[in-house]
């Protein structure tokens, strides 16, 4: 989420060209890669038929998708949807996500009309079962408290979907009311990929712990955003970003679904400590996405990182592997370091 910055920044000139294109000049597969792997924010990645498809907050005028054969390579880029010149969904296109549901690809993104107070979640539908086919506007999702009349929709960003026992749910970050600056996590049922069918339900408080508050200060309000589902061995986790995204204190927390009904009060348990925290050299980390390595043996995460300590949203994309503890919890370790060499994802193809 957040305001857009130039697609290429002088702080990271090495990523102005595609790593996938560069590797064709090598006689053998590269054993390592270095972060960052891209410029932008809010990365999302999914694997389909041997390819990785990546989206991020990239262009204010629409949604682009990158296709590559590695989670750390940019590959080819295609703009699959262009926002209208005017209207309620014409600008501030943030955090698009790509999901395959009922035989079609759907993109869930945030859009507005030059007014941040008007941010809403929109759904785009693919023309075919090809992730790179053209997309058309399908609907604006209702993210409010009156599903019957839908008289007033509510501010919403960072939407994602997940399926539980054959039922589809939408999860996002929203405000309690139009005057609130704090952000909470909400969930609602869906009757199909483009329709919310019930009132929103708040998953948890946003200020249970000091590390969730703006600037890690008890004097400030809480912020929860960028929810992402992570499932492993029959357990469902929700990784979210906490504290202020424009500051170095941005970090990630963890919820776990412990009830049978994701909409029921108390169905989600919040863990008391952040699961991925900034360091002295890598800070302002958030909005993670998760995917398997090409051979399926490793778990990888993509996330964004602030480029400077002063307040703002100038960000780059990092990638690194993560592991699971004996107790079945995700262990993300520490954030990678700018320019540090890391092994390529297991099973990465030769170029």
204 upstream amide cis, omega within 30 of 0: no
Whether 330 is in a domain gets the answer yes
Q: Is the pLDDT of residue 211 over 90?
A: yes
State the virtual CA torsion across 181, 248, 217, 331 in degrees, nearest 10.
100
Inform me whether the pLDDT recorded for 245 exceeds 50: yes
- Asked, for residue 173, whether it belongs to a domain, the answer is yes
Does residue 103 lie in a domain region? yes
- Kindly report, residue by residue over 276-315, the tens digit of the pLDDT: 999 999 999 999 999 999 999 999 999 999 999 999 999 9
Pairing verdict, β 201-202 and 184-192: antiparallel
Which residue range is the domain that position 76 belongs to?
A: 32-343
**Is position 14 within any domain?**
no
Residue 8 lies in a domain: no
**Is 221 within the bounds of a domain?**
yes
Q: What is the CATH number of the domain that holds 156?
A: 2.115.10.20
Q: Based on the structure, what is the number of domains in the chain?
A: 1
pLDDT of residue 30: 54
In a domain, 350, yes or no: no
Tell me the percentage of the chain whose pLDDT exceeds 90: 85
Q: How far apart are CA 343 and CA 30, in angstroms?
A: 9
Total Cβ atoms within 10 A of residue 165:
7
Judged by average pLDDT, the poorest of 18-27, 97-106, 242-251, 303-312 is 18-27
pTM: 0.90
Please state, as a whole number, how many other Cβ atoms lie within 10 Å of the Cβ of residue 300. Answer: 21
pLDDT, position 59: 72
Specify if 25 maps to a domain.
Answer: no
Q: Is the pLDDT of residue 194 over 50?
A: yes
End-to-end alpha carbon distance in the chain: 34
């Amino acid at each position: 989420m957040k305001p857009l910055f130039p697609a290429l920044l002088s702080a990271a000139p090495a990523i102005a060209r595609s790593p996938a294109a560069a590797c064709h000049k090598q006689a053998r597969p590269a054993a390592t890669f270095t972060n960052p792997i891209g410029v932008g924010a809010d990365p999302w990645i999914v694997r389909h038929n041997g390819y990785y498809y990546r989206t991020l907050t990239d262009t204010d005028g629409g949604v682009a998708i990158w296709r590559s054969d590695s989670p750390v390579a940019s590959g080819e880029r295609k703009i699959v949807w262009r926002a209208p010149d005017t209207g309620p969904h014409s600008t501030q296109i943030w955090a698009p996500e790509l999901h395959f549901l009922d035989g079609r690809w759907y993109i869930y993104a945030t859009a507005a009309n030059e007014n941040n107070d008007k941010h809403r979640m929109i759904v785009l539908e693919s023309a075919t079962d090809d992730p790179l086919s053209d997309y058309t506007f399908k609907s604006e999702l209702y993210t409010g408290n009156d599903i019957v009349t839908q008289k007033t929709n509510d501010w919403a960003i960072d939407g994602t979907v997940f399926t539980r026992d054959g039922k589809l749910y939408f999860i996002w970050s929203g405000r309690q009311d139009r005057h609130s600056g704090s952000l909470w996590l909400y969930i609602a049922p869906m009757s199909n990929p483009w329709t919310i069918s019930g009132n929103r339900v708040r998953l948890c408080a946003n200020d249970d712990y000091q590390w969730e508050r703006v600037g890690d200060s008890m004097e400030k309000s809480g912020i929860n955003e960028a929810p992402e589902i992570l499932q492993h061995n029959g357990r469902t986790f929700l990784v979210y970003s906490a504290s202020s995204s424009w500051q170095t204190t941005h970090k990630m927390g963890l919820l776990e679904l412990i009830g049978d009904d994701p909409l029921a009060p108390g169905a989600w348990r919040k863990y008391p400590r952040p699961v991925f925290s900034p360091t002295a050299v890598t800070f302002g980390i958030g909005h993670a996405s998760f995917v398997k390595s090409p051979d399926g043996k490793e778990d990888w995460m993509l996330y964004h990182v602030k480029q400077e300590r002063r307040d703002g949203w100038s960000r780059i994309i990092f990638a690194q592997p993560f592991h699971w503890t004996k107790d079945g919890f995700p262990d993300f370790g520490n954030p990678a370091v700018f320019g540090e060499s890391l092994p390529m994802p297991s099973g990465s193809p030769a170029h």
